[in-house]
Amino acid sequence: MKLPIDLQFLRRPFERRTPPGSAPGTAAKPEEEVASRMHLVAFGPEDFQETVIENAAEVREYLGSYDVTWIHVHGLGNTAQLRQLADMFDLHPLVYEDILHPHQRAKAEEYGDYAFIVVRMVELEPHLDTRQLSMVVGDNFVLSIEEASSQDRLEPVRERLRKRVGRIRQMNSDYLSYALMDSVIDHYFPVVESFGDRLDTLDDPLAAGYTNDIIPQIQKISSDLLTIRRNLLPHREAIRNMMGARFTRYTDNTTVFLRDADDHTSQLLDAIDAYRQICSDMRDFHFALTSQRANEVTKTLTIIATVFIPLSFIAGVYGMNFNDMPGLKWEWGYEFAWLMMISIAGGMLAWFYNRGWFKG
Amino acid sequence: MKLPIDLQFLRRPFERRTPPGSAPGTAAKPEEEVASRMHLVAFGPEDFQETVIENAAEVREYLGSYDVTWIHVHGLGNTAQLRQLADMFDLHPLVYEDILHPHQRAKAEEYGDYAFIVVRMVELEPHLDTRQLSMVVGDNFVLSIEEASSQDRLEPVRERLRKRVGRIRQMNSDYLSYALMDSVIDHYFPVVESFGDRLDTLDDPLAAGYTNDIIPQIQKISSDLLTIRRNLLPHREAIRNMMGARFTRYTDNTTVFLRDADDHTSQLLDAIDAYRQICSDMRDFHFALTSQRANEVTKTLTIIATVFIPLSFIAGVYGMNFNDMPGLKWEWGYEFAWLMMISIAGGMLAWFYNRGWFKG
Amino acid sequence: MKLPIDLQFLRRPFERRTPPGSAPGTAAKPEEEVASRMHLVAFGPEDFQETVIENAAEVREYLGSYDVTWIHVHGLGNTAQLRQLADMFDLHPLVYEDILHPHQRAKAEEYGDYAFIVVRMVELEPHLDTRQLSMVVGDNFVLSIEEASSQDRLEPVRERLRKRVGRIRQMNSDYLSYALMDSVIDHYFPVVESFGDRLDTLDDPLAAGYTNDIIPQIQKISSDLLTIRRNLLPHREAIRNMMGARFTRYTDNTTVFLRDADDHTSQLLDAIDAYRQICSDMRDFHFALTSQRANEVTKTLTIIATVFIPLSFIAGVYGMNFNDMPGLKWEWGYEFAWLMMISIAGGMLAWFYNRGWFKG
Amino acid sequence: MKLPIDLQFLRRPFERRTPPGSAPGTAAKPEEEVASRMHLVAFGPEDFQETVIENAAEVREYLGSYDVTWIHVHGLGNTAQLRQLADMFDLHPLVYEDILHPHQRAKAEEYGDYAFIVVRMVELEPHLDTRQLSMVVGDNFVLSIEEASSQDRLEPVRERLRKRVGRIRQMNSDYLSYALMDSVIDHYFPVVESFGDRLDTLDDPLAAGYTNDIIPQIQKISSDLLTIRRNLLPHREAIRNMMGARFTRYTDNTTVFLRDADDHTSQLLDAIDAYRQICSDMRDFHFALTSQRANEVTKTLTIIATVFIPLSFIAGVYGMNFNDMPGLKWEWGYEFAWLMMISIAGGMLAWFYNRGWFKG
Amino acid sequence: MKLPIDLQFLRRPFERRTPPGSAPGTAAKPEEEVASRMHLVAFGPEDFQETVIENAAEVREYLGSYDVTWIHVHGLGNTAQLRQLADMFDLHPLVYEDILHPHQRAKAEEYGDYAFIVVRMVELEPHLDTRQLSMVVGDNFVLSIEEASSQDRLEPVRERLRKRVGRIRQMNSDYLSYALMDSVIDHYFPVVESFGDRLDTLDDPLAAGYTNDIIPQIQKISSDLLTIRRNLLPHREAIRNMMGARFTRYTDNTTVFLRDADDHTSQLLDAIDAYRQICSDMRDFHFALTSQRANEVTKTLTIIATVFIPLSFIAGVYGMNFNDMPGLKWEWGYEFAWLMMISIAGGMLAWFYNRGWFKG
Ligand SMILES: [Mg+2]
Ligand SMILES: [Mg+2]
Ligand SMILES: [Mg+2]
Ligand SMILES: [Mg+2]
Ligand SMILES: [Mg+2]
Ligand SMILES: [Mg+2]
Ligand SMILES: [Mg+2]
Ligand SMILES: [Mg+2]
Ligand SMILES: [Mg+2]
Ligand SMILES: [Mg+2]
Ligand SMILES: [Mg+2]
Ligand SMILES: [Mg+2]
Ligand SMILES: [Mg+2]
Ligand SMILES: [Mg+2]
Ligand SMILES: [Mg+2]
Ligand SMILES: [Mg+2]
Ligand SMILES: [Mg+2]
Ligand SMILES: [Mg+2]
Ligand SMILES: [Mg+2]
Ligand SMILES: [Mg+2]
Ligand SMILES: [Mg+2]
Ligand SMILES: [Mg+2]
Ligand SMILES: [Mg+2]
Ligand SMILES: [Mg+2]
Ligand SMILES: [Mg+2]
Ligand SMILES: [Mg+2]
Ligand SMILES: [Mg+2]
Ligand SMILES: [Mg+2]
Ligand SMILES: [Mg+2]
Ligand SMILES: [Mg+2]
Ligand SMILES: [Mg+2]
C-alpha cells in the first residue's frame, strides 16, 4: 500500500528562515536560488508597452507616464532587486517580510497608499501544493511577486491586455489586481475537477471489491481536497474584506467583479464538499462490501467445519478398538453408520436453513 | 451491489466552457444544442397577452404597453437571441456569463436597474439533478432563462396569469418573480417526500434483515438528501437577502410573501434532516440486527465444535493400537466410554449454560 | 426486533394538499373530516362569558363588548366557518393558508393589525407527534385554531379565566396568547420526563446484558428526543422574536413572562440533551458489556479447542496401523502416551496463563 | 460492571410540582421538609451585625439602618417565611416561582428595583449534583435563598465580612452578590480537579490492560464532566450579561471583578475539555491495547490449530484399515510418516514466518 | 505500550493555592522556591541602560528619566519584591493575583493607567507545557513577570534593544510589549514544526505495518497538538481584542504589527489542523493495513482448516473397524480413497477460487 500522506507538507510547513524573536520585517534570503525575472506592462486605454526589465530602477520611467504600470517579479531569488522595489514603493517592512516568506494565508490588507493582497496559486505537479502570489496595489501601479513555479497562471491576463479583450485596458489598477486574483482562482477549477476524474476511475475497481489499496487512494483524495479547502477558504475572507465598506481601494465598479470571484470561491467549496461526500460514500460502500464478503466466507467455512465435526466423531467412535463393540459385526453396521452420519449432517443443515443462516 | 454514487456529478461539477483566466463576462456557447424557445406574457390587471416569439426584437413592442412583460427563454442553445436580449436590457457581462453557465448557486443580487436572481429547479429523472433558472427583474419586466429540462416548473404560474387566479395580475414584476421562485421551491416538496416513500419500502426488508444491498440503498438516499440540502440552503440565504433592508427591489407587500417562501425552505430543510436521521437510524438498526445474527451463528457453531472436540479425543484414545490398553477388553468398556463422553458433553453444556452463554 | 423508526412521519411530512405552484394563500380542504367545534370566552376584569358557538357570525356581538374575546376552533374540518372567521378578522391569505396546512414550524409574525403565532402541541399517544396551534392576536381578541387532537392542552387556561386565578382576567389579549403558548410549552415537560422513566426501566436489563432489543429501544428514545428537539427549537426563536424590540405587540409587562417561557424552553432543551447523553452512555455500556462477554466466550472455547488439537493428534499417531511402531508393545506405552498428552496440555495451559490469557 | 449512568438525574430532571398550564408564578410547596433557616448579616464599613432570625419581619429593622443587609435563607421548607420575604421586597411572581423550583439554569435578570441572579452550587456527595442559589440584589440588600445542601459554600464570604478581609465591607450590595457568586464558582475548582485525581488512579490498571470495568469508569467520568459543563456554561452567559451595558445594577468597579469570574469560568471549561480529551485518549488506548492482545491470542491459537490439522490428517490416513496400504509394512514407514509430518509442520511455519505472521 | 497521556497535566490543572471563596486578589505564595531575578532595561532612541536589580525600589530612578523602562521579573519566588512592584505601579489586586497564579489563559485587559496582557510560552522539555508571561504596559514602562522556566524566550528582544535592530528603540512601551508577545508566539513555530519531524520518523514503520505502539505515538502527537491549540487560540482573541477600537493603548502604528501577530497565530492554527489531519490519516491507514493483514491471515488459515476437515473425515471413515467394509479389501481401495480425497480438496479449492475468495 502506498502511504496516503503528503510528506512534502511534513517537511516544510512554514517558509521561515529567520529565528524566533527576530525584528518584525526581517526578511531572510530564500534558499531557492531561482533568480528573479522582472516583467513590466504599462498601459492605458490607448497605450500599451510590454518589456522585460533587468534593473528595478527602470520602473520609474513608466510610473508617471501610463495609467497603470504592472511590474511582475517571478522568483524570490534576487533580493537586491526586490529590496529596491520595496524602497521605491515605500513598502512596510511587514509587507516585505510577507513577500519573502511565501507561506502566508490568502489575505487583503490596506496600508496608507496601497493595498497588500496575498493569494495562493494551486498546482498538482509534482504533488499538490500552493504557491504564493503577493500583490501591492497602488493608485497607478500593481506590483506582483510570485513564488517560483513552473506554471504560469497570469499569462491569460497579459493576453487580454495585449489584445485589449474586455474592459481591462479601460480600468485602473484595482481592476487589474482583481483580474490577477480571478485568474488565480479560476485555475482551482480544473484542479478540483481532476479529483472528480480520479474518483471516476475508482468506481469500477470499487464495485469489483477486491482492490486492497483503494481505501488509501480515496483517503488521499479526500485529504488533498481538505488541503485545497484550507488554502481556498481564506480567499473568501479576503474577497469579502475587499468588498466591505472599510476597505476603500476597490471602487463599486470593481466590487461587482469581486462578488463574482466570491461566487467562484463558494462554488469551489461546494464542489469540494460534494467530492468529499463522495469519498465518504465510497469508503462506506467499500466497507459494506468487504464486510459482506468476509461474512460470506466465514459463514460458509464455519458451516462446513461444523457439519463435519459430529461426523468425524462418529467415525472415530467406530474406530475404537473395543473387543466387543455392538454393530461392528452387524451385517448392516457400516450402512447404518453412514445413515446416521447422513441424517445428522442433513438435520444440521436443515436446522441451519430453518434459522435462516443460508440467507443473506 | 449497486454503487451508491452519483457519477453524473463526478463528470460535470461545473458548467464552465471558458478557459481559466478569461475576461469576466466571457460566455462560451453551451454544448447542448437545445434551441432556445422564447415565450412572452404581457399583462396588467385588465390586459393579458400571451405569445411565442421568434425574434428577441419583438419584445420591445410589449415593454412599454403593459404593466408587466414576462419574457421566458427555455434552453441556452440560441446565444444570438440571448445576446440580443442582454443588450436590450443592458445586462452586466457577469450576469450574462452566469446565465450561460448554469452551475451557479441560488443567489439574489441587485444591479442598478434590475435584480438578478438565480434559483435551481430540482428533478429526479433520469437521476437527481438541479437545473438553473435565472431571472432578471426590472421595473416593468421579468426576463427568465431556464436551462433546458423536460419538466415545466412554471406552467402553474402561467395558468394563474391566464385565469387571473389570486392577486398576480394586480401585482408588479417583483411579485411575478416571487411567484416563479415560489413555484420552483414548491416543486422540492414532492421530491423530498418521494424519499420518504422510498424509505417506506425499505422497512420490511430491513426488519427481515437479510437484504445485502439495503445499506447502499439507504446510503444513496441519505447522500441524495444531502445533495438537495446543499442546493436548497443557498435559496434561504438568497430569500433573506431579498427581504433585507439593503435590497430595495422587493416592496413590503411582496416581502410578506418572501417570508412564506423562507418558511417553505426551512420546512424542507427540517424534513431533509428528519429523513437523514431516519436513514441513520435504519443503518444503526441494520448493523445491530446483523451483528446480533452473526453472533448467534458464531456462538452456536462454536459451541457445537467445542463440545465435540473432547469427545473426538476420547474416541481417538480408544482407537490407539496399544497392545495392552485397559478397558478395551473390559465387558462394559464400550458403555463406559460412552458414559464418559456423555458426561463430558453434558458437563460442558451445563457449564456454558451456567455462565449464561445460551442467553441473549 | 421492533423497528425503531417512526413510520408515521415517513408517510406525512407535510400537510400539503395544494399542488406545487398554486397561488400563495390557496388553502385546500383538509382530508380529516373532524368537524370544527367553536368555543368562545369573552372577559374583562369583572365580566366573564363562556359559550359554544355554531356560527362564526355570533362572534361579532362579543368583540366590542368585552376587553378580550377568545375564539377557539378545534379541528380544521369546517372550512366554511374558518373562511368566515378569516374574513371577519381580515386575515392575510398566507395566514389562512398556514392555519389550514398544520405542518408549520413554530413562529411569530407581525401583520398590520394582528400578530400570527404558531406553536406545536406535543403528544405521545398513539405515537410521538406534534399538532399545530395557530393564534391570531389582535387588540381585543385572540383567535386560536387547533389541529384536531384527543388531548386538551388549553383547558387549564380556561379554568384560570373562569376562576379568576392569577392576573389573567386583568390582562389583555397579548397576555392571553402568552398564557396559551405557556400552557403548550408546559405540556412538553411530562413528555420529556416520560423518556427518563422509560430509560429508568431499561437499566436493569441493560446491566444484565442479555436483552437483544435494548439497543433499538434506546435508539428509538434517542431519535424521539431528537424529534422533540427539532420541534421545540423554533419555539425559542419565536419567543425571542416576540421579545425583540421590532416586535411591537407584546408589552414590557408581558415580555417578562415571555422570558420565563424562554427559560422553560432552554430547560427542556437541556434535559433533552442530557437524556440523549444518557442514551449514548447506555449504548456505549451495552457494547462494552457484550463485547467483553463475546471475548470471554470466544477465548474460552478457542483455548479448549486448541489444547485438545495436539492431544488428538497424538491419539491419532498411536492409532496408525504400522506393523512395527515403537511403544505400542512397550509395557508402559499407554501410560507414557497419557503422560505425554497431559504434559502437553499442562504446558500449553501454563504458557497461556503466563502470557496472561486467562486474565480479564 | 457498574452501570455508568446517573439514575438520580433520570428520576428528577425538573423540580416542578405544579401541573402544566398553571398560572405563571404559581409556586407549589417543595416536597423536601427541610425547615428554612434564616440568617442575617448587616454591615457597613464600620458596622457589623450578624444574627439568626426566626421571623422574616425582623428583617425590616435592619434594612434602612445599614449600608447592606444580607438575608440568607437555607432550605425551601418554610414557604410562609419565604412568602413574607417575597412580599417585603415586592418580588415578581416569576422570581418567587423560580426560587421555589430549584431546577433553573444559571441566569441574571433585571427587574425594576432589583436584579435576580441564579447560580448553581456543584457537589460531589452523595453523587454529582448541583443545588440552586437564588439571589435578589437590591440597592441596600441581598436576599439569597439556597436549596438545602449539606455543604456550605458561603461561609468564606461571611468570614471575610466578619474579619473585614479585603474590600467587601466598603462595597455595596452588588459587590456582595458578586462575592457570593465567585465563592460558588470557586468551589467548582476542587470538584473538577478531583476528576483529574480519579483519572490518575486509572492509568496503572489501564496500562496493565486487564481491567474489565475501566471503560465504564472512564465513561462515567467523561459523562460527569459533561454534566458539569452543561451546568457551568450558563454561568458564563449570565456573567457576560451582567457585565453588558444594558445590565445597569453592576457598577464599573464591580464589573472588573465580574471579568475575573468570567476568566475562572473559562479556565474551568478549558480544564473540563482537557480532561474529556484525556478520557477519550484513555478509551482509545484501551481499545488499541485490548485489540492488540486479542489479535495476539487469536493468531497464536489459530496457527497452532492450523499446523496440526494436516498432521492429524496424515495420522488418520495411516490409521485407515485397508488391507493393502503401501508403507505400513515398510521397515522405515513409521519414521517416514514422522518425517513427512515434521516437514509439513516446518514448511507451514516457515511459510507463515516468511509472510510475516509472527511479527507484530 | 507507553501510555499516551500527559500525567503532568493531570496533577496540576490550576496553579491555585488559595481556598475557594477567598477574597478576590488574594495571592498565595507560590510553592516553587525559584527566587525572582529582576532585570531592567531603560531606553530611548539615543539612550540605553541595562542592569540587574536587587531591590524593586531601584526602579524608580529610571522611570522618569527614559522613554521606556522595562522591568522583567523571572520566577515568582520573591513575593516581597513583587508586592513592592505592584504597589509602585498601583496594580489592581486581580492583576496581582493573576500574576501569582500562572494558569491564566492568554488575554488582554485594560485598566485605567495600564493594560494587562497574559501570554503563554510553550516548551517541549521535559514535556509539553506552557509557562505564563504577564505584562503590565503603562505609558513609559513595561513590567513583565515570567513563570520560572529554563528557556529564555525574550533574549532576542533584548539583543535588538542593545544593538538597536529595527525600530524598537524609537518606539514606545506598547511596541515593546508587542515585541515580547511576538517573540513568545514566534517560539511556537519550531515547536509545531517538531511534531512534523516526529510524524516524519513514523512513516516508515507505519508503512511496514508491524509496529504495535505506533497508534499510541500518533495519538500522543495528536493530543499534544490539541493542547497547543487550546493554549494558542486565546492569544488570537487577545490580539484581536488589542486591535479593536475599544482597546486604546495600542496606537495605529503598533496595530499593524499586531495584525502580523494575528497572521502568525492563524498560520500556526492552520498547521496544527493540517498535522492533526495527517495524524488522522495515519491512523486510518494503519487500521486499513492491519485489518487487511488480519483478514489475509484468517482467510488463509480458515481455508486450510476447512479443506482438511472433509479429508480427515474420509480417513476416519476408512479407519472404522467394521468387519465388513466395502473397499477395504479392494485392490485399488487405498488409491481410490486418495483419489476421492484429492478430488474433494480440489473441488473445494476450485469452488473457493470461483467465488473469488483467493483474491484481495
Ligand atoms: Mg516575529
Ligand atoms: Mg512576521
Ligand atoms: Mg510552498
Ligand atoms: Mg468509471
Ligand atoms: Mg469597499
Ligand atoms: Mg458569475
Ligand atoms: Mg474568470
Ligand atoms: Mg465568472
Ligand atoms: Mg446541471
Ligand atoms: Mg412499509
Ligand atoms: Mg427589502
Ligand atoms: Mg405559509
Ligand atoms: Mg406556493
Ligand atoms: Mg405557502
Ligand atoms: Mg401532524
Ligand atoms: Mg431502574
Ligand atoms: Mg417587543
Ligand atoms: Mg421561571
Ligand atoms: Mg406555565
Ligand atoms: Mg414558569
Ligand atoms: Mg437538584
Ligand atoms: Mg497516576
Ligand atoms: Mg499511577
Ligand atoms: Mg453593566
Ligand atoms: Mg484573575
Ligand atoms: Mg475567588
Ligand atoms: Mg481570581
Ligand atoms: Mg504550568
Ligand atoms: Mg520518513
Ligand atoms: Mg485599538
Ligand atoms: Mg507577516
What torsion, rounded to 10 degrees, do the Cα atoms D157, D159, D164, D168 define?
0
Amino acid at D81: Q
Give the Cβ contact number of residue C157 at 10 Å. 24
With CA atoms as reference, the chain A residue closest to B20 would be A186
- Kindly report the nearest CA distance between residue D174 and chain C, in angstroms: 22
First to last CA, chain A: 31
What pLDDT was estimated at residue C64? 85
- Distance, in Å, from the CA atom of E316 to the CA atom of D318, rounded to the nearest integer, reads 10
- Distance, in Å, from the CA atom of B99 to the CA atom of B107, rounded to the nearest integer, reads 12
Chains with 3+ CB–CB pairs under 8 A to E are A, D
pLDDT digits (tens, 9 = 90+) for A104-121: 999 999 998 999 999 999
Burial class (CB in 10 A: 0-12, 13-18, 19+), D160: buried
What pLDDT was estimated at residue A11? 53
Half-sphere exposure of E82 (CA within 13 A, CB side): 29
ipTM: 0.86
Instruction: Check pLDDT > 70 for residue C10.
Output: no
- Residue A360 contacts B where some CB pair is shorter than 8 Å: yes
- Residue A200 contacts B where some CB pair is shorter than 8 Å: yes
pLDDT more than 90, % of chain C: 55
Which ligand has an atom closest to residue E18 CA?
26
pLDDT digits (tens, 9 = 90+) for E169-200: 999 999 999 999 999 999 999 999 999 889 98
What are the cell numbers at D163?
474579619
pLDDT digits (tens, 9 = 90+) for C84-112: 999 999 999 999 999 999 999 999 999 98
Does D10 contact C289 at a Cβ distance shorter than 8 Å? no
- Residue C296 contacts D where some CB pair is shorter than 8 Å: no
Which ligand has an atom closest to residue D278 CA?
22
Q: A 162-191 residues with CB below 8 A of B?
A: 165-168, 179, 182-183, 186-187, 189-190
pLDDT digits (tens, 9 = 90+) for C197-246: 899 888 888 877 766 678 888 989 999 999 999 999 999 999 999 999 89
Going by DSSP bridges, is the β-strand pair E115-123/C115-123 parallel, antiparallel, or unpaired?
A: unpaired
With CA atoms as reference, the chain A residue closest to E290 would be A1
- Kindly report the nearest CA distance between residue B14 and chain A, in angstroms: 8
pLDDT digits (tens, 9 = 90+) for C133-149: 999 999 999 999 999 88
**Residues in chain E closer than 8 A to D273 (CB atoms):** 230
- Ligand 27 ion local residues (Cβ < 5 A): D 260
Q: Which CATH class is domain E291-354?
A: mainly alpha
**Would you say E240 and E316 are in contact if contact means Cβ atoms under 8 Å apart?**
no
Distances, alpha carbon C12 to alpha carbons B189, B197, C235, in Å? 11, 10, 22
**Residues in chain A closer than 8 A to E284 (CB atoms):** 215, 219
pLDDT tens, per residue, chain B with 360 residues:
556 655 555 556 677 778 888 888 887 777 665 778 999 999 999 999 999 999 999 999 999 899 999 999 999 988 899 999 999 999 999 999 999 999 999 999 999 899 999 999 999 988 898 999 999 999 999 999 999 887 889 999 999 999 999 899 999 999 999 999 999 999 999 999 999 889 988 888 887 766 667 888 898 999 999 999 999 999 999 999 999 989 999 988 899 999 999 999 999 999 999 999 999 888 888 888 877 777 777 778 788 888 888 888 888 888 888 777 777 777 788 888 889 889 999 999 998 888 877 765
pLDDT digits (tens, 9 = 90+) for A196-238: 889 988 888 887 776 667 888 898 999 999 999 999 999 999 9
Radius of gyration from C-alpha coordinates of chain E: 35
Higher pLDDT, D298 or E285: E285
- Distance, in Å, from the CA atom of D122 to the CA atom of C239, rounded to the nearest integer, reads 30
With CA atoms as reference, the chain B residue closest to A358 would be B210
Q: What CATH topology corresponds to B7-288?
A: Beta Polymerase; domain 2 (3.30.460)
Give the Cβ contact number of residue D286 at 10 Å. 20
What are the cell numbers at B18?
471558458
Nearest beta carbon to residue E230 from set D270, D284, D320: D270
Instruction: Check pLDDT > 70 for residue C337.
Output: yes
Of E89, E124, E119, E123, which is closest to residue E107 (Cα–Cα)?
A: E119
- Distance, in Å, from the CA atom of C226 to the CA atom of E355, rounded to the nearest integer, reads 44
**Which site among B295, B322, B325, B359 would you substitute to test the C interface, given the most C Cβ atoms closer than 10 Å to its Cβ?**
B322
- Kindly report the nearest CA distance between residue B53 and chain C, in angstroms: 24
- Residue A347 contacts B where some CB pair is shorter than 8 Å: no
- Distance, in Å, from the CA atom of B152 to the CA atom of B238, rounded to the nearest integer, reads 22
Q: How far is the CA of D146 from the centre of ligand 27 (A)?
A: 23
**Residues in chain A closer than 8 A to B246 (CB atoms):** none
Chains with 3+ CB–CB pairs under 8 A to C are B, D
Q: B 306-325 residues with CB below 8 A of C?
A: 306, 309-310, 312-313, 316-317, 319-325
Instruction: Check pLDDT > 90 for residue D105.
Output: yes
Instruction: Check pLDDT > 60 for residue D49.
Output: yes
- Distance, in Å, from the CA atom of E352 to the CA atom of E336, rounded to the nearest integer, reads 24
Provide the 3-class DSSP secondary structure of residue D47. coil
Average pLDDT over residues D71-89: 94
- Distance, in Å, from the CA atom of E281 to the CA atom of A216, rounded to the nearest integer, reads 9
- Residue A1 contacts E where some CB pair is shorter than 8 Å: yes
Nearest beta carbon to residue B14 from set A189, A320, A321: A189
With CA atoms as reference, the chain A residue closest to E302 would be A301
What are the cell numbers at C219?
435508539
Instruction: Check pLDDT > 80 for residue A28.
Output: no
Strand order in the sheet with C107-110: C48-53, C37-43, C68-74, C141-146, C129-137, C115-123, C107-110
Secondary structure string (H, E, C) spanning chain A:
CCCCCCHHHHHCCCCCCCCCCCCCCCCCCCCCCCCCEEEEEEECCCCEEEEEECCHHHHHHHHCCCCEEEEEEECCCCHHHHHHHHHHCCCCHHHHHHHHCCCCCCEEEECCCCEEEEEEEEECCCCCEEEEEEEEECCCEEEEEECCCCCCCCHHHHHHHHCCCCCCCCCCHHHHHHHHHHHHHHCHHHHHHHHHHHHHHHHHHHHHCCCCCHHHHHHHHHHHHHHHHHHHHHHHHHHHHHHCCCCCCCCHHHHHHHHHHHHHHHHHHHHHHHHHHHHHHHHHHHHHHHHHHHHHHHHHHHHHHHHHHHHHHHHHHHCCCCCCCCCCCCCCHHHHHHHHHHHHHHHHHHHHHHCCCCCC
**Residues in chain A closer than 8 A to B223 (CB atoms):** 277, 281
Block residue for cell numbers 456462538: B299
* Phi, psi dihedrals of residue E135, rounded to the nearest 5°: -130, 130
Q: How far is the CA of B147 from the centre of ligand 9 (A)?
A: 8
Range of lowest pLDDT (B180-184, D122-126, E19-23, E294-298): E294-298
What pLDDT was estimated at residue E309? 86
**Residues in chain E closer than 8 A to D313 (CB atoms):** 308, 311-312, 315
**Residues in chain B closer than 8 A to C23 (CB atoms):** 160, 165-168, 179
pTM check: above 0.90? no
Q: How far is the CA of B103 from the centre of ligand 21 (A)?
A: 56
* Phi, psi dihedrals of residue D252, rounded to the nearest 5°: -55, -35
Is the peptide bond preceding residue D126 cis, with omega within 30 degrees of 0?
yes
Does C357 contact D308 at a Cβ distance shorter than 8 Å? no
Nearest beta carbon to residue E267 from set A103, A226, A319: A103
Instruction: Check pLDDT > 80 for residue D358.
Output: no
**Which site among A276, A334, A341 would you substitute to test the E interface, given the most E Cβ atoms closer than 10 Å to its Cβ?**
A334
- Residue B303 contacts A where some CB pair is shorter than 8 Å: no
Q: How far is the CA of E73 from the centre of ligand 10 (A)?
A: 75
Q: How far is the CA of D324 from the centre of ligand 11 (A)?
A: 104
Q: B 63-102 residues with CB below 8 A of C?
A: none
Range of lowest pLDDT (B45-49, B183-187, D70-74, D311-315): D311-315
First to last CA, chain C: 31
Going by DSSP bridges, is the β-strand pair E68-74/E141-146 parallel, antiparallel, or unpaired?
A: parallel
Which ligand has an atom closest to residue C11 CA?
10
Q: What are the beta bridge partners of residue E130?
A: E122
Q: How far is the CA of D131 from the centre of ligand 25 (A)?
A: 25
Of B150, B151, B201, B142, which is closest to residue B177 (Cα–Cα)?
A: B142
Any idea where the domains of chain A sit in the sequence? 7-288, 291-354
- Kindly report the nearest CA distance between residue C2 and chain D, in angstroms: 24
- Residue D103 contacts C where some CB pair is shorter than 8 Å: yes
What pLDDT was estimated at residue E182? 96
